Structure 1
């Protein structure tokens, strides 16, 4: 049984503990206030009341937060990293978040990954993934797309949510256009770039409306393998012929967008990399309808094309040099064989893509389409798949 003296002592200790506990937040708030307003030592104040500082660390100014981050306090490293990333200093941020990433919660690592994705820091996201610190979710799925992960390992639902098609989707051509074009890419940036090019084209269709209809971009990593040849041109080979055939059989043309390599068109397939500008895209579309380059053609192509005579393309006439269409001018297409002539005295989109499409070449393009369309009308039944274009 407690004596009166012991009871009073017990109550005094209990009351002191309660006062001390209730005061800790006040002490923390006072210390934090001094750091914000009076150049107090942030590290000393932090160690005196670390729990308060951890709860309010995001309110610290950059200079004070940086001091804590440089002293290897994980939460400060994390918060300072986010500020650096959002202010355009992602390389510096990497020093801090790497040092403390393994001590961060899943929620904090997810927020970090979100910011890295916003700023397209693919190597940083890959580093987190390699260290098994990248949480499951959208950021990890986006990284899979950018790294060209095999299509079977990426959720079809995720791909569809982004507005793209998976290789197993049913993709139907559109009936209102003369040509239907299937668009594909093996990486995330390519999918978004295709959407960008298609959107710009649809705002001002060339050479007129209802010529080309484009599918939504299809993710095909693993079904095709892409590289560059000795001339730095993009090239892709099909790895799963049966699967690709089932996707492409109802389309007139294909656009495949790899990461690297110069643009080219062969056998109704355009290869164009994900850094290409819009006028390059338009230039390659004209190849679909038979237009030829007005700069020097590859020697292998000159070997057979430049031996021909007459109008070999809507914009290219080849002769022995004794005759040419009235008003046409010498082109650089052929250095061997015949002499090549082009409609324009000046550079055109077929020689220098950045110039864009002139009225003269738009008229040539429309005329070529009318010839193709007239030919199709004369057929017993209009084809439903490829071969409406001109091989290039």
Structure 2
């Protein structure tokens, strides 16, 4: 005990004798910390003996004095020591045990740190007085010392404090200070917390410039999202050897550029690391190949009434082809839809520039493409409807063509398939469309099989309600949300939330499947792709081609099953 007293006393004497000379304060603090590290095998432990607690407290006090004298070395030494002591709080797999009686549960630890941070302001005045008094050593409290360092704008301390306290309890000030202090991890977190696109990109760039791998990968994703492949490419190249997600995206990008051999190297690398999309991509390259518009072959559809709608998917990149193939395979394995007279052909992989698409097609804020290049394929393959999978945009159906992007799931595909048969959405639709379909004089022009609206004496169209009752006399007419945008009541034949309201969780009631098949058998109630071609060629001024497709449309809707 005598040795402990002399050690602490010597440290405190040094404070007075050095006249607060920073290098000497740092040297004496380092000596004390080195002694503790030697006993703990080169690292300050999370638990200290009584003697070593006094040594570390005294050393921290000296370092804080030096830090206040603008000593960068003192700040760095104090930060390193705090990181060693708190490492068990940041890394649950640390070999340092928790203090006796303390829970190791991360949630309890986060709560404890949050409470300690809240109490910090109450004790800060007393602790600060203790730090500046030569006869008293302040409490060994990591949060207290970090707050001190944050008060002199130490970015590393701000980031560690943010991590220790937890995202919910920590002030955004800590993260912002750390980001501005060039802490790459904080810059990435700061970027991802921002709702401003410009601000997010700015901080992603700053973090990536420090060669911080997660930031480089995040910035590459940002550029890919905004169709800036040239900017994304060097970032993906830098991270592909270390990150399987980047390896997959880099391989996909190389493939779309035509660098097939190098693309396969990265796709195989990602697949070997367990990246499922890379495995799917390699499978796609084995099953399909890019086919020029003029080289597409005819397709043998099932005969009779098995294919009242003949649906042909298209894609023009590796990413969109992966998605199109997944729709095709899932549809053919979907037992729910097996009774419907729908046929989906294998997708066709077109050259990347075969279709001109936009996520704001015709200024409508939806995905769309100029489908005229598909007309000759339609003549060969005799499909009645098409699915175009593009990179990005809002899913929709327009006159026999379904537009989906790579983010759409199979449930979206099924929802849009129902639109092919005339089903209406059961969520609140846009006012422009609601003014048409929710109007008592115009709803008969659409006659959706799953929707009716109020009329003065009953529902309209009354024939739709009769259809429901004929299929199932126990049908319950329930409120729908379709016409809420124009403050009108609409109704559907089910109390359940169906797939026409929530595609991802909604059910397909048996009644809807019967209605769906009936719609397929009433081809005059459908809008095949021939109408789309007619409108496109007529608008272009190609009246010969327009006349051809108008005749095809009239023949289709004139059929009866």
Cα separation, 2, equivalents of 1:385 and 1:120: 47
The structure 2 residue matched to 1:217, chosen from 338, 347, 356, is 347
User: Does the residue aligned with 1:193 lie in a helix, a strand or coil?
Assistant: helix
Q: What is residue 170 of structure 1 aligned with on the other side? A: 297
Aligned pairs (5 A) from 1:165-314: 166=291, 167=293, 168-176=295-303, 177-209=307-339, 211-220=341-350, 221-229=352-360, 232-238=365-371, 241=372, 243-249=373-379, 250-307=382-439, 308-309=442-443, 312-314=447-449
Asked if 1 retains the 8 angstrom alpha-carbon contact of 2:341 and 2:517, the reply is: no
Aligned length: 258
Asked if 2 retains the 8 angstrom alpha-carbon contact of 1:306 and 1:337, the reply is: no
The structure 1 residue matched to 2:477, chosen from 328, 332, 335, is 328
Structure 1 residue 235 displacement after superposition: 1.8
List gaps (5 residues or longer) in structure 2.
1-211, 218-237, 268-282, 460-464, 470-475, 527-549
Asked if 1 retains the 8 angstrom alpha-carbon contact of 2:309 and 2:384, the reply is: yes
Asked if 2 retains the 8 angstrom alpha-carbon contact of 1:253 and 1:386, the reply is: no
Asked if 2 retains the 8 angstrom alpha-carbon contact of 1:331 and 1:342, the reply is: yes
TM-score, structure 1 normalization: 0.54
Asked if 1 retains the 8 angstrom alpha-carbon contact of 2:320 and 2:390, the reply is: yes
Structure 1 residue 266 displacement after superposition: 0.7
Instruction: Go from structure 1 to structure 2 and tell me whether the alpha carbon gap of 1:164 and 1:255 turns closer, same or farther (over 3 Å shift).
Output: farther
Structure 1 residue 384 displacement after superposition: 11
Asked if 1 retains the 8 angstrom alpha-carbon contact of 2:498 and 2:508, the reply is: yes
Structure 1 residue 120 displacement after superposition: 5.8
Structure 1 residue 186 displacement after superposition: 2.3
Cα separation, 1, equivalents of 2:511 and 2:253: 52
Q: What is residue 139 of structure 1 aligned with on the other side? A: 263
Please say if 1:121 is aligned against 2:247.
yes
Cα separation, 2, equivalents of 1:289 and 1:357: 14
Instruction: Go from structure 1 to structure 2 and tell me whether the alpha carbon gap of 1:218 and 1:116 turns closer, same or farther (over 3 Å shift).
Output: farther
TM-score, structure 2 normalization: 0.39
- Name the Cα RMSD after superposition: 4.3
Cα separation, 1, equivalents of 2:310 and 2:213: 44
Aligned pairs (5 A) from 1:10-29: none
Instruction: Go from structure 1 to structure 2 and tell me whether the alpha carbon gap of 1:115 and 1:322 turns closer, same or farther (over 3 Å shift).
Output: farther
List gaps (5 residues or longer) in structure 1.
1-89, 96-111, 144-157, 376-382
Greater Cα offset, 250-259 or 201-210? 201-210
Aligned pairs (5 A) from 1:147-166: 161-164=286-289, 166=291
User: Does the residue aligned with 2:329 lie in a helix, a strand or coil?
Assistant: helix
Q: What is residue 136 of structure 2 aligned with on the other side? A: none
Structure 1 residue 252 displacement after superposition: 0.5
Instruction: Go from structure 1 to structure 2 and tell me whether the alpha carbon gap of 1:330 and 1:210 turns closer, same or farther (over 3 Å shift).
Output: closer
The answer to which structure has the higher strand fraction is 1
Instruction: Go from structure 1 to structure 2 and tell me whether the alpha carbon gap of 1:358 and 1:136 turns closer, same or farther (over 3 Å shift).
Output: closer
Task: Report which of the two structures shows the higher radius of gyration computed on alpha carbons.
Answer: 2
User: Does the residue aligned with 1:363 lie in a helix, a strand or coil?
Assistant: helix
Cα separation, 1, equivalents of 2:254 and 2:395: 34
